Structure 1
Amino acid sequence: MNTAVRASAFTEPVRPKGLLIRFVTTGGSYVDVTGHGEHAENNRWNCLGCGDSSARPEQGYLFRIRPDANNHATACRAIPLT
């Protein structure tokens, strides 16, 4: 079984203001990390496939949420509905 992430067959959505990182999910959707950057505490991630997001945006330092966003992108199989 091949589990490699392939280039998405879907159109990439518009990049939101403050986009810091965009991960492609296993299902071909995207997880966006947005905010004011590395030293800001208001960064958050949001999955455009399943709608899940950061559990604690008040603790949104980039070094804390980057691994969570990446792990979610690896596990999420939701496809974009638009």
Structure 2
Amino acid sequence: MSTAVRASAFTEPARPKGLLIRFVTTGGSYVDVTGSGENAHDNRWSCHGCGDSSRSPEASYLFRIRPDANDHATACRAILLT
């Protein structure tokens, strides 16, 4: 069984304002990283598949949340239901 990420079979959701990075999940959904940029405190990630999101406002610098968003995208198998 392959663990490679496959292209999504679903329509990509609209891109929100402040989108910095979009990851495709293992399940074919998306994880969006939004905010004001590299050194801003308002950066967050959220998953369109399972609804999970970042929870650490003290760790919202982009270099800190990017790995968490990528790790979630790698592990999440939920699919986009809307």
Q: Scaled by the length of structure 1, what TM-score is found? A: 0.96
Listed as ranges, the gaps of 5+ residues in structure 2 are none
CA RMSD between the two structures: 0.7
TM-superposed CA distance for 1:59, in Å, is 2.4
Give the fraction of aligned pairs with identical amino acids, expressed as a percent: 83
CA–CA distance in structure 2, aligned partners of residues 9 and 57 of structure 1:
33
Residue in structure 2 matched with residue 6 of structure 1 by the alignment: 6
Report if aligned partners of 1:49, 1:81 keep a CA contact under 8 Å in 2: yes
Contact 1:42/1:58 (<8 A) preserved: no
* Secondary structure, counterpart of 1:71 in structure 2: helix
Q: Which runs of 5+ in 1 are unaligned?
A: none
1:42–1:59 contact (8 Å) kept in structure 2: no
Question: Please, what TM-score do these two structures have when normalized by structure 2?
Answer: 0.96
The separation in 1 between residues aligned to 2:6 and 2:59, in whole angstroms, is 32
CA deviation map 1:37-74 (0-9, x unaligned) = 00101100000100000011242000000000000000
2:41 matches 1:54: no
The alignment of Structure 1 onto Structure 2 pairs a total of residues equal to 82
The residue type paired with residue 70 of structure 2 is N
